[in-house]
Structure 1
């Protein structure tokens, strides 16, 4: 449940509890009938009741559709990434640090001239299958470089480095070839963004 739904649910639940206590008090005759009928007539004659009913209906509608919304976690590409599998407790790793690891691994391979990585993270509940992270790597290859060999080696090296550093196995790595360059290795600028 998202933060907006939680913020809407709190006053909605409090209002429901107050109304149920008031209805129980009227049914048990704790409050005399003439008193609560007089108050009810007064409330029903006010214009603010219509606005309140409209807001309550919209909040109810929002919470109703929140029940049926898919619980698929959304990926994010900025902020912090929580690593919980450490013996000493939870550790937060900046996504820029993970991006740096991936880009350094890519640039260390022969034939890769430039590399730019995008790391996306999603919340995965414990006990479910799936990895909490994906890597999209945009690279520039040197001319006459075997694409199949580089992609296999790059995927293996990135997965191995992320497993060694973060303890996350089998991270999906998506490789995009942005350019095939015929410039000498010393003349190109290594793109790290």
Structure 2
């Protein structure tokens, strides 16, 4: 089990270590995000076997794939920081967030829970940024924190979760999965009628 957020089990260059340190320091204060919900993945230039991630070249490739291909071709590491959004009560992952660092570029988005590929989402806005590694670390940490702090509800007995506005009351047959607000902030589920 990981002892710290974004524990590094592989060789990461000094540049990327600095970025990881910035995000790790912020992660210590994220609610309902234990260290074992975070991970670091590294792609090395020799792992691609000379093949492009973009496929056959017929379809349009997105900036994410293009940036990764260029970095790996230039001999650069590609760093992915991932955060699993967990239903701690049910011990299930219902979503994954990822921040990929490619040279001086950052790509943050909701990710597929097993392939870590970016996935479109109505709930989580993707973010792209260019800057120094320290700046990108702060941006990634802020993006992760904003999403991780959101309240989440889900149907009783199911693994799916939905982000909701703060101070929301779950509808019948739903329960809090993450970041339940204080009862006094939410108020009663139904109006109280007095004479």
TM-score bucket of the superposed structures, by smaller chain: under 0.3
Q: TM-score by structure 2 length?
A: 0.26
Q: TM-score by structure 1 length?
A: 0.26
Higher helix share: 1
Higher strand share: 2
